[in-house]
Structure formats: C-alpha cells, structure tokens
Amino acid sequence: MRMGPAELVQAAAMARRFYLEGKSKIQIAEEFGVSRFKVARVLETALERDLVRIEIRVPAELDAERSDALRARYGLRHAVVVESPADEQDDAADPENLGEVAADLLGELVTEGDVLGLAWGRSTIHMAAALDRLPPCTVVQLTGVYDAGTAERGSVEAVRRAAQVSGGEAHPIYAPMLLPDPATAAALRDQTGIARAFEYFDKVTVAAVSIGSWEPGISTVHDMLSDAERAHYASLGVAAEMSAHLFDADGRRVGRDLGERCITVEADRLRRIPEVVAIAGGQRKAAAIGAVLRSGLVTSLVTDTAAADYLLTESAAGVRPALERADPDGE
C-alpha cells in the first residue's frame, strides 16, 4: 500500500528521532501519542519502502564481511582482514599493511597499566614501526632474536619503539632465539637481563606474535636449523611455527624438545595471556595460520584476503573455538 503524505512525514520524523537522534521507541511513542509497537512497525516500513537507507562503511582496505565470517568460524575475539595488495605475488607472505592495521588494533586493545609482549617476527617489527599511539604500558620481549647481529633492527628495536610510544618501561632480550643445546639456553635464561624479562611473562596482558609455515623464508626457526634437524621435525608432521613452538596441521604441539634450546615464552604461559594477537597473511602461510588457530594459543588475528579465503573454505573438521584456549599439549 502507498503511504500518504501524512504517513510519510510521520515516518520520516520517527526515523530521524530513532536513527539520528538516538531516541528509544518508547520515547518516540510518547512524543507522537502512539504505542511503541506502532513505532516499530513504522520504522520497519520506512526501511522496506526505502525511506531510510542504512549504509555501513569501513575503510576500503578492510574487508568487514570476511573479518566477521573468520571471527565466527574460528571463535576469535577479534579478526581483521585487510585487502591483499593488488601486486602481491602468490608466494609473498605478510604484506606490510598488516603491520599498520595491527598497530591500530593494539591501540584499541592496550589499556593503561597493561604489559604488552612482543615476539620476534617480521610482521611484529612492521607493526611496531607503525605504532603512533599506545597508553602507558610496560613492553617486554617474548623471544630471543633471529640473529643477534640484527637485534638493533629487529625485535629489540620493536620493543624500544613500542615503549617509546607508550612512555612505559622496555624489557628487551639480547640473546639469540635458538641455541646449540639446552644447557647453553638454560645458562642464558639465568642471566640478569634475560631473567628480568622472563619475570614479566606471567604479567603480560596483551601479546603480538607472528606465524610461520614450515618452509624456507617463511619460518624463522626453519631457517635457523640444519638440514638434518629440518628433516627430523618435518617427519613429526610440523606444519606451522609460532614463537619457536611447532604445530602439526591439527594444532597439536610437536617437537617439544626444540623449546629446551630456545629463548622464548613457554606455550602454557602464552595460553594464559588474556589477549594474543597473531599477525600473518599470504597464501603461503594460510595453512599454517589455520594450524595455529586450532592450537588454542591465540585469541585474535590480523590477516589478509588471500589467507582468509583459504581459512574460510578449508574443512571445518577439527576447528575449535580459539577462545576456549585449549591446551595444545593435550591428547
């Protein structure tokens, strides 16, 4: 039925009160002398007749539909999907714009007095470089560095940068991530500066981590091992790496002996951190991201459309809500 001029004017007025002025349906009903059910019907009709148009707009680089679908599928607290660069190669990983978006997300998540943990990774380094706002917080390094010779340009600098932006304390770790044997790693953990950083691990409230797939150039740990060691861990079914922890395709931790040689936050400590944001993208990392999401160690994800499309189409078998924080060492 056509709406007469009086009905159109009334519907427009009610819609203005509700959508623009934020008044409740009860308040509108009292103003116009009708029931709140009548107000609800008028507002519904206004939408149906195109009298009111609701437009949801986000920045062009964000894909809201994929983000929401990914959050729901994996039971994440936050999922942010950005458009993959138009010139991105199929074998590329972690587009730099992920770091910029992750920096903005940390600006939302971190509150005054939090302890922010940063693990080594190209994506976390890009994120730290893009930070322009953080409330006062302590920043601690969660892993050793890929190469001690690049510490000043890597995770140590990322920790310093984040602390500078927030105005808080910085607790870097001046040590390699991987050591030749467990004894050397244990001795380093006991050194004063490193031990002080480790003391903060149980206080971390928000962490940012990277993810690697088990192949050259895409996993820090893979590139640090010998050919024989790579073959050994590959035989265990390793599909992903995060903060020197290895996972199979189902998100179970494998090769736990490697952790004894590493300077890194323990898996169980990671699982107890309230908010763990993984930053990873690209087709080559897509399967690895899925494995880590199943591990129960992360709560949120910043990724790109290339990885998101894979994650949204892979089999749902074995997918557990990330917020259940399942134990990756459980049977």
Domains of the chain with bracketed CATH: 3-47 (1.10.10), 60-322 (3.40.50.1360)
Q: What average pLDDT does this structure show over 4-8? A: 77
Q: What average pLDDT does this structure show over 240-264? A: 92
pLDDT at 35 over 90: yes
Q: How big is the chain, counted in residues?
A: 331
User: Got the DSSP string for 129-193?
Assistant: HH-----S-EEEE-B-BS-GGGGGGTHHHHHHHHHHHHT--EE---SBSB-SSHHHHHHHHTSHH
pLDDT at 28 over 90: yes
- Cα 274 to Cα 175: distance, rounded to the nearest angstrom: 26
pLDDT for 145 equals: 85
Residue 290 dihedral angles phi and psi, to the nearest 5°? -60, -40
Q: Which residues neighbour 17 within 8 Å (Cβ) at sequence distance 6 or greater? A: 23, 27, 28, 31
Beta-carbon-side half-sphere exposure of residue 4 (alpha carbons within 13 Å): 1
Contact (Cβ atoms closer than 8 angstroms) between residue 285 and residue 218: yes
Confidence of residue 88 (pLDDT cuts 50, 70, 90): low
* Among the ranges given (7-11, 115-119, 257-261, 276-280), the one the predictor scored with the smallest mean pLDDT: 7-11
pLDDT for 152 equals: 44
Which amino acid type is present at position 152?
A: E
Q: What average pLDDT does this structure show over 320-328? A: 79
Q: What average pLDDT does this structure show over 301-309? A: 93
Give 239 or 95, the one with higher predicted confidence: 239
Contact (Cβ atoms closer than 8 angstroms) between residue 21 and residue 12: no
pLDDT at 87 over 70: no
Nearest to 284 by CA among 223, 178, 211, 232: 211
Q: Which residues neighbour 82 within 8 Å (Cβ) at sequence distance 6 or greater? A: 61, 62, 63, 95, 97, 98, 101, 281, 302, 303, 304, 305
pLDDT for 205 equals: 97
* Residue showing tokens 């509150």: 111
DSSP H or E stretch at residue 230:
helix 227-235
Confidence of residue 331 (pLDDT cuts 50, 70, 90): low
Average pLDDT, the chain: 87
pLDDT at 54 over 60: yes
Which amino acid type is present at position 321?
A: P
pLDDT at 240 over 90: yes
Distances (CA, A) of 247 to 32, 222, 238, 267, 294: 62, 13, 5, 11, 9
Q: What average pLDDT does this structure show over 106-115? A: 94
Q: What average pLDDT does this structure show over 225-230? A: 90
Contact (Cβ atoms closer than 8 angstroms) between residue 74 and residue 105: no
pLDDT for 297 equals: 93
Confidence of residue 252 (pLDDT cuts 50, 70, 90): very high
Q: What is the pTM of this model?
A: 0.80
Instruction: State pLDDT tens for residues 113-172.
Output: 999 999 988 888 889 989 999 999 999 999 998 764 444 457 788 999 999 999 999 999
